[in-house]
Structure 1
Amino acid sequence: MAELQVSETQVLVSIVGDDISLAAKLVSMCWDAKLKAELLVNKRLSKHLDRANEFGIPWIVMVGEEEITKGVVKLKKKDAQVEIEVPTSDFVDELVRLINTPQS
């Protein structure tokens, strides 16, 4: 089993598809809020989950065709069964709130 590579990254902005401009916009919004974020654009969902697992990234902002159509993103906490859908315009505020909420 591969050793976990720990990263300071708090958020992986995952674009399931090939929309580089959307990925850049969303990760920039995270950076503006002082979140440590990186992006991954790939059509295979497994690549996104593997990246978060490999580097110990706790939060994933997932965006695919369905989310783009609905104008939302999915916020997923990797180590918990937490997955919520929020409007794209509000996702950073919600993400900051979730990250700063003590886990019980």
Structure 2
Amino acid sequence: MARRSPLDDPHAAAHAWARFRRLMWLMLALTIAVVVIAMLVLWQQGALVSVHFFIASALGIGLTMLLMSALMGLVFLSNGTGHDHSVNHRLDGEDQAPD
């Protein structure tokens, strides 16, 4: 049987999710800054490219950074709250001493 997760406690879960939201707002601000800098660098290069190139570049950079931020944030949330330690690692038929 799986141990109880610390995220089952409403107070601990609220604190953890608030921390995750703060991290995501910070990463959104950083992502916007990086996209603006990247667009300025591309524009400074003076290449004759379509506006679609700028749109695709901005979306590619932005969505990639936000997806990476969300996934890494969830890893930090899971590990930082002790949720990872509540998982039962025992395989079927394998005898292990309980923790």
If the TM-score is normalised by the length of the shorter chain, which range does it land in? under 0.3
- TM-score, normalized by length of structure 2? 0.24
User: Which protein has the bigger helix share?
Assistant: 2
- TM-score, normalized by length of structure 1? 0.23
Larger of the two Rg values belongs to structure:
2
User: Which protein has the bigger strand share?
Assistant: 1
